[in-house]
Structure 1
Amino acid sequence: MIASKNPYTGETIEKFEELSKEQIDEVLENAQQRYKLWRKTSMGERAEFMKNAAEELKANKEEYARDITLEMGKPISQSISEIEKCAWVCEYYAKHAEEHLADRLVDTDAQKSYVSYEPIGVVLAVMPWNYPFWQVFRFAAPALMAGNIGVLKHASNVMRSANNIQKVFERAGFPKYCFQNMTVGSDKIDDVIKDKRIKAVTLTGSKPAGAAVASTAGSEIKKSVLELGGSNALVVFDNANMDAAIDTCIQARFQNTGQSCIAGKRLIIHENIAEEFTKNYVEKVKELKSGDPMNEDTFIGTMARVDLAEDLEKQIKSSVDAGAKILIGGERDGAYMQPTVLGGVTKEMSMFKEETFGPAIGITRFKTAEEAIELVNSSDFGLGVSIFTEDMDFAKDIIPEFEDGAVFVNELVKSDPRLPFGGTKISGYGRELSLDGIQEFVNKKTVYIK
């Protein structure tokens, strides 16, 4: 059995029976048979189903959001926002998938030559708990619109949400088996990837999980896309709008109780403004309301599991032992971790080198732009970086110096259906969303007619 527990109360919400080997085979066979029909549907038909999915999400967002909050502790207002964003990605691909996958004409010596973008089959998605709906929908919407079939292996602590996602597509009228949730543990994934009916796999998760999935997919010569961890830097130059930068840096670090791969996790401030910025930042952190995630005014909920809070506590302690100072927070109670800010963090400390997955951030000072760039690029991660400055010419000049997959100026790094999303280095490879995302899992077929 796979148990879903409420991290705020510690109570078991629901238990789910894990699928047997025979049941897994049935899921994959149903998916394969559905693909043979689904791939022949028109873009117009698919778009209507996807619009229905968007309407279903909006009509029942409170129902779906409630289960997100119960299962992983996200504040309810943020859970509702997550459902609304899923509706957005469905609407985006319903509108733009056809143009994203239109034949690309190429001028050659043929009578006609072009590239077509055709579906590849059943795609496995291995997804995490921190954004249990959004992470899945940003895969599922483009995959289904491309004519593929989705099979989901979700994190074990959000199985109710996983079933709800399948329910969304069923309520939207998608033909049966277009999208299926598999209630299985991680130990079953290797065999599923090797199954000949699975044509590709996408994973959002940790480096070890990504390495394991990529290794198996590679051994089978199957496409994989990995969106892994991040240690995004928030770089504040001395000519930044301080009040706006502080507000953005608060959101970047502490939304979703800091449990996000694209959260700002390293606050790097120019020494000229570091003292004032830090003082005002800490005051803003004090105002963040912690409490029951089901309360609408709660901003900091509980972390998703006790062991995750314990890991964060160890990183904080390690950095303090190495010389960092706790400016606020630092205390843990079960799965709840106080919003925490550390000063005097250097690049050798845990809070700088490692991914910190929770409501804690370290502050590091810099003197020059060159030093700031070196601090950002010294990370093994490369998901994204935010820079804060009022000098747009300066910003444009230094953007190419960063090695990350995204650079946001005066804004937190965020995923947007209109823009490709993905990282470099150990943050993964491949892209999700926009044109790039829908073209990850297609056969780019060259056609030459003489």
Structure 2
Amino acid sequence: MAIATINPATGVTEREFEAHTEAEVDARIDEAVDAFRTLRSSTFADRAGWMRAAADVLEAEAEEVARMLTTEMGKTLAQARAEALKSAKTMRFYADNAESFLTGRTIEEPERMNASGAYTRYEPIGPVLAVMPWNYPIWQVIRFAAPALMAGNTGLLKHASNVPQAALYLDTLFERGGFPTGSFRALLIPAARVEKVMRDRRVVAATLTGSEPAGRSLASIAGSEVKHVVLELGGSDPFIVMPSADLDAAVATAVSSRTSNNGQACINAKRFLVHGDVYDAFVERFTSAMGALTVGDPTDESTDVGPLATASGREDLAGLVDDARSKGATVTTGGEAPEGAGWFYPPTVVTGVDTSMRLYAEEAFGPVATVFRVADAEEALKIANDTTFGLSSAVWTNDADEEERLIAGLTAGAVFVNGMSISYPELPFGGTKDSGIGRELSIEGIREFVSLKSVWRA
């Protein structure tokens, strides 16, 4: 894939960028190494001041950043603004909390170890490679970069090739806040060159958000180099609706969750498992609401759903729907890509999906929802867990016993009760099974890329 800004709403290539040469990549890694020597000796107060200043820059430029994101990957302006502001908020969260998150503990009764004292401490490890996707070009990076830099590490970003302007914006953002030169560096390189960077001894660890094959590849390289990785590899999140739920709220949230970011989020609800007592009413209301959304120019404030980010993404999504329809599934709304420019695909609802269809098992990365009729909570859990993924989930019920049974029974990194799956800096984020390993955000996220040292004193 060329390193270029191709507007998804028009299909027009707006800017192209030359990949960094091997010499340029080498120099950028050297910059990260040099910056680490400074960062590791700086104080939490130093880094917090720089991080807050960088957050101020991002917040002040939120409108400019939003238009860049909309142009590069097609999300609506409202959601692009929200992404920029959420990123700034998370930067401040780590500025405020990093020191307490990385305070070691004093060991009680050290005499049991023949010591006068013992304690633990967390220390930064060095340059960390981040391989990031296009769906949240700023947020995905910030949720790694903010804790990594506050811990005293430096970052190297290999961003998706269709969001180079976002990558270059992030390349300078932290230095504009006061971080030492080289603290965060973007590498404009194709995916084929990631392995060489990962095997570079100056790079000590990596994090990746992306496809399962990409994650397996990076993890394999990291394993052979004995380097730590954090992987977030997507999901096919269940959204369970039981008879006691507030159906109006469930339907409204289902629409928002399935179409947020034009349906291109790892934690979008994708499979809707609805109890038979409310199934017909849910499908009718959900179909109506999805069909009523406005699809169009993402720079128009009245647009609900913009284009998919890539032509191949639309082809893949349409292929899933066409496969299901050809095998007997029913499309209650949408299901046909419109004619004309841009990579648009309408909000789509599919019922009658079974295990013979690709849509049953594969992640639909776009505004396509599958709805299943279930007889009870046990059947809902069976279908919900019948997937290789386990990122997030949502349950809608006002029965306390049922809620507890569903929370305990779901194999997922998170469960949201009577609400929409979303990431918060206060909550750890990550999945089980093929959805990845490790956690981002909260205290767990900042502790992924530090070394825990034990100290014993005679």
Instruction: Name the TM-score, length of structure 2 as normaliser.
Output: 0.97
The answer to whether 1:305 aligns with 2:310 is: yes
- Which residue among 178, 187, 196 is the counterpart of 2:201? 196
Report matched runs for 1:94-133 at 5 Å: 94-107=95-108, 108-109=110-111, 110-133=115-138
Letter in 2 for 1:62: E
Aligned residue for 2:399?
Answer: 391
Asked if 2 retains the 8 angstrom alpha-carbon contact of 1:351 and 1:361, the reply is no
Q: Distance in 1 between matches of 2:162 and 2:237?
A: 26
Q: Which stretches in structure 1 are left out of the alignment for 5+ residues?
A: none
Q: How does 1:26-37 map to 2 (within 5 A)?
A: 26-37=27-38
Q: Which residue of 1 aligns with 2:279?
A: 274
Q: Partners in 1 of 2:395 and 2:47 — Cα distance?
A: 39
Q: What RMSD, in angstroms, separates the aligned Cα atoms of the two structures?
A: 1.0
Q: Does 1:429 align with 2:437?
A: yes
In the TM superposition, what is the alpha-carbon distance from 1:202 to its structure 2 partner?
0.1
The SS at the match of 2:230 is strand
1:105 alignment partner, SS class: coil
Retained in 2: the 8 A contact 1:346–1:364?
Answer: no
Superposition pairs of residues 185-264 of structure 1, within 5 angstroms? 185-264=190-269
Matches within 5 A, 1:29-178: 29-107=30-108, 108-109=110-111, 110-178=115-183
Q: Whole-Å Cα distance in 2 between the matches of residues 104 and 66 of structure 1?
A: 45
Q: Deviations over 1:329-359 (max 9, x none)?
A: 0111351111100111224422221100001
1:254 partner SS: helix
Amino acid paired to 2:259:
F
Deviations along 1:162-203, one digit per CA (max 9) or x if unpaired, are 111123212212221011111111011000000000000000
Q: Does 1:5 align with 2:6?
A: yes
Which residue is 2:418 aligned to? Answer: 410
Q: What is the distance in 2 between the residues matched to 1:53 and 1:287?
A: 40
Q: Given that residues 253 and 264 in structure 1 are in contact (C-alpha distance below 8 angstroms), is that contact kept between their aligned partners in structure 2?
A: yes
Q: Distance in 1 between matches of 2:116 and 2:409?
A: 44
SS of the residue 1:284 aligns to: helix
Name the aligned partner's letter for residue 442 of structure 2: S
Distance 2:408 2:116 in 1: 41
What is residue 362 of structure 1 aligned with on the other side? 370
Gaps of 5+ in 2: none
Q: CA deviation at 1:2?
A: 2.0
Residues in 2 aligned to 1:114 and 1:374: alpha-carbon distance in whole angstroms: 46
AA aligned to 2:427 is L
| SS of equivalent to 1:219 | helix
SS in structure 2 at match of 1:141: helix
- Within 2, Cα distance between the matches of 1:47 and 1:80? 24
**2:352 aligned with 1:344:** yes
Shift in Å, 1:143: 0.1
Distance 1:59 1:201 in 2: 30
Q: Which amino acid aligns with 2:125?
A: I
1:285 maps to 290
Aligned to 2:323: 318
Q: Is the 8 A contact 2:50 2:178 kept in 1?
A: yes
CA contact 1:13–1:71 (8 Å) conserved in 2: no
Residues 1:331 and 2:336 aligned together: yes
Instruction: Please give the secondary structure, in 2, of the residue aligned with 1:365.
Output: strand
Comparing 306-315 and 104-113, the one that deviates more: 104-113
Identity of aligned residues (%): 44
Q: Deviations over 1:62-112 (max 9, x none)?
A: 011111000110111100000011011101000000000012122232222
Letter in 2 for 1:100: F
**Cα distance in structure 1, aligned partners of 2:41 and 2:301:** 45
Residue identity opposite 2:151 in structure 1: A
Provide the rounded CA distance (Å) in 1 between the counterparts of 2:86 and 2:385.
Answer: 31
Letter in 1 for 2:287: V
Q: Distance in 2 between the 1:404 and 1:78 partners?
A: 26
Looking at structure 2, the residues matched to 252 and 263 of structure 1 have their Cα atoms a distance apart, in angstroms, of 5
